[in-house]
Structure 1
Amino acid sequence: MIDLAVVIPAYKAQYFEDTLSSLAAQTNKNFNVYIGDDYSPDNLRSIADKFSGRLNINYTRFPENIGPRNLVKQWKRCIDLVNNHEEWLWLFSDDDIADPDCVARFYTALGQNGDRFDIYRFNTVTIDGVGNIVQPNATGPKEESGEQMAYHLLRGERGNSMPDHIFSRAIYDYCGGFVETDFAQGADWATSVLFAQQKGICIIPQAKVYWRKSGVNISSVAAINEGAMIKGHLQFISWMLRHFGYLKNTPSGITYHMMVGAVIVNIRQVMIHHFKKLSFYNARILLNFYKSELGLSFYESIKQVYLIKEGTVPFIRKVSDLYVRFSSGLKSRIFKNSSAR
């Protein structure tokens, strides 16, 4: 019996054959492939047909392209293509690559752990458009709780993307599917955290998934769609804060205060390395978010914007610098006046 469904929300032809080749090279072929063509202008079916004798492919071409507007909805309708008998779901992508032993290692881990986990993850390596390794992402322990994973993930100490996860259909149905954000910003992270809440997550260290940062996927063009994608990322951050609200009263090694600190680190890292710039308008949005969602003072909020130096427009840096200097001078004068009394 085949227990694993590999689900590919497909749109781009550029690396699609490489993706299917990596699946066809799996040492364990005990899986079905479901391809959901998001009304692509490319002839993806002709590429899929090349693997008809090597992969058990179920191909569906949707009548409408929805990925650019709602990528999470595209994920969901692709999952809906899966037959009910597969108990495990692997949401892959149309441009990433899996090591040849990924499926075999998954079944080995599943046999060793039984029903201990609802979600398994491979470590991720970031590659560029021609397959060169850009970044060997941080690896995690063999298992950890949802709180631990989220904390380290926010701090940049874990790799995480949707294609490196295999999750049970049971937890997918129980949680009501994927967490939804604009442009799917952080939706993979939030979904991983949600699915790991009850039983934690098991990392399969021996095999890797190669996540492609090619310049043509949504993550690669973040700086172009700055405003809308920042909004999506802040939706993800808000979800994380709500989700871990229980840590205020029931800390489990990771406290709510620690999680907020990790969120602050994440926003700074994402703005510097992902979006690479910050307009005055979006700086105001961040200031308001720091105050309203994280409870920071106006001064601390300005300080956080100031710390986002690399990748920001000079005007924002100058305004932040002037304000920090002014505030520091004002505080110093107030302190001196108070001491004089």
Structure 2
Amino acid sequence: MPLLAIVIPYYKIDFFEECLESLVNQTNKWFKVYIGNDNSPSDPTSMITKYQNKLNITYKFFPSNWGKNSLPEHWNRTINLINDEKWIMVLCDDDMLGPKVVEEFYRKLREVEIAEINLIRFATQEINGTGEIISNIQKHPKLQCYSDLFYSRFIRGGRSSLSEHIFRKKAYDKYKFKNFPLAWHADDYAWLEFSDFGFVYSINTALVYFRLSEFNISRPNYLLDEKREYALVFFKKVLMNHIHKFKPEHQYPIIRYAEMLNYPNVKRPIKLWSDFFLLTLRYAGIWEALKFSRRVYLNSKVND
């Protein structure tokens, strides 16, 4: 039994064969592939049959389309297909793995196990719809505590994707993926929980390719207002449940970042503003809390 399950929550066929081909090209094939079809209009069975003798595949067609309402729930039900594998990668149907991802995972696994780390991530590079490289390679510190990772991701403008991570099944079983609208930051929240604010182990000797195409929710200028609102949903959950776990020097910058998501629309519930005031007061002091009140007042006058 392999230790690694590669789970593909399938819906789009456009780049699916390239995704499967990247698995065939792995230098270490000690993994099993689980594909869950979210009632896609594009039937992938002939393509899966083509690769069945090259990959160890379990395929399941789900007659109900969950992704339109809760994409993380489709991730969860596809993960539920796996057997006794101890580690999981959720690979998007349009992303690709470099040929040494699985090999490097196993090569580093003993070190990860000794350190009792739950979350691994790989170096990444972005590609477009035609497979052209459109970004530099993003590498990470070998060991990084989650507070530093989160700070780099949001406050310093880093990037992250679902496919670049491998996580321990026991951590997943404890938390699962939570439902966020459009699955916006659902993976970021999962890494926060799966890591238990411990260390994340980075493998920079293999690449995961994140595809940014016309079909991605992440594509620029798509649903910008909605994504801003959903980002606020994510940050409110982080602030209410976890802000005390971050390093002291990271707490107020994260609170301030979340606060800025509220502008220019200040016509929000009083409780939201009072929560932000109390958080600012607690983690930054009375002077910053007074400045926060002034910002809210000035923004409300601008938008009257």
Which TM bucket (shorter chain)? 0.7 to 0.9
What's the CA shift for 1:256?
1.9
1:59 corresponding residue in structure 2: 59
Mapped to 2, the partners of 1:137 and 1:159 lie a distance apart of 11
Deviations 1:207-265 (A, max 9, x none): 111111111122227634x4543332211111221233324xxx645442133245457
Measure the CA separation in 1 of the matches of 2:155 and 2:91. Answer: 25
Structure 1 CA distance for aligned equivalents of residues 155 and 113 of structure 2: 31
- Taking a change above 3 Å as real, the CA distance of residues 323 and 145 of structure 1, as seen in their structure-2 partners, is same
Aligned length: 290
Aligned positions of 1:93-242 closer than 5 A: 93-116=92-115, 117-136=117-136, 138-175=138-175, 177-220=176-219, 223-224=222-223, 226-242=224-240
Cα distance in 2, alignment partners of residues 70 and 196 from structure 1: 23
The answer as to whether partners of 1:139 and 1:157 remain within 8 angstroms in 2 is no
Query: Secondary structure at the residue paired with 1:163?
Result: coil
In structure 2, stretches of 5+ residues that fail to align are 278-288
- Letter in structure 2 aligned against 1:323: V
Counterpart residue type for residue 193 of structure 1 = L
Q: Check conservation: 1:121, 1:164, Cα contact below 8 A.
A: yes
Tell me the distance in 2 between the aligned counterparts of 1:68 and 1:156.
31
Task: After TM superposition, give the deviation of residue 291 of structure 1 in Å.
Answer: 3.3
Aligned counterparts of 1:179 and 1:222: Cα–Cα separation in 2? 25
For the pair 1:323 / 2:280, whether they are aligned, the reply is no
**Do the aligned partners of 1:139 and 1:158 also contact (CA within 8 Å) in 2?**
no
> Does the 8 Å CA contact 1:149/1:158 hold for their aligned counterparts?
no
- Structure number with larger C-alpha Rg: 1
CA contact (8 A) 2:236 2:258 kept: no
Distance 1:68 1:289, change over 3 A: farther
Alignment partner, residue 37 of structure 2 = 37
- Provide the rounded CA distance (Å) in 1 between the counterparts of 2:230 and 2:9: 20
2:267 and 2:195 mapped to 1: Cα distance? 31
Provide the rounded CA distance (Å) in 2 between the counterparts of 1:115 and 1:262.
36
Does the Cα contact within 8 Å between 1:151 and 1:254 map onto a contact in 2?
no
Instruction: Describe the SS at the equivalent of 2:51.
Output: coil
Shift of 1:34: 0.2
Match of 1:258 among 253, 267, 285: 253
Could you say what secondary structure the match of 1:126 adopts?
Answer: strand
TM-score by length of 2: 0.85
Aligned to 1:333: none
- The alpha-carbon deviation at position 68 of structure 1 amounts to 1.7
Cα 1:179/1:27, change in 2 over 3 Å: same
In the alignment, is the contact (CA less than 8 A) between 2:101 and 2:207 conserved in 1?
yes
Give the CA deviation at 1:299: 4.1
1:186 touches 1:236 (CA, 8 Å); kept in 2? Answer: yes
Question: How many angstroms apart in 2 are the aligned matches of 1:302 and 1:98?
Answer: 49
| Change in CA separation of 1:118 and 1:153 when aligned onto 2, cut-off 3 Å | same
- Counterpart residue type for residue 215 of structure 1: E
Inter-partner Cα distance in structure 2 for 1:214 and 1:36: 22
Residue identity matched to 2:239: L
Determine if contact 1:122/1:208 at 8 Å carries over to the other structure: yes
Change (3 A) 1:254 1:31: farther
How far did 1:288 drift? 7.4
Shift of 1:194: 1.3
Q: Who is 2:276 aligned against?
A: 294
> Which one-letter code corresponds to 1:259 in the other structure?
I
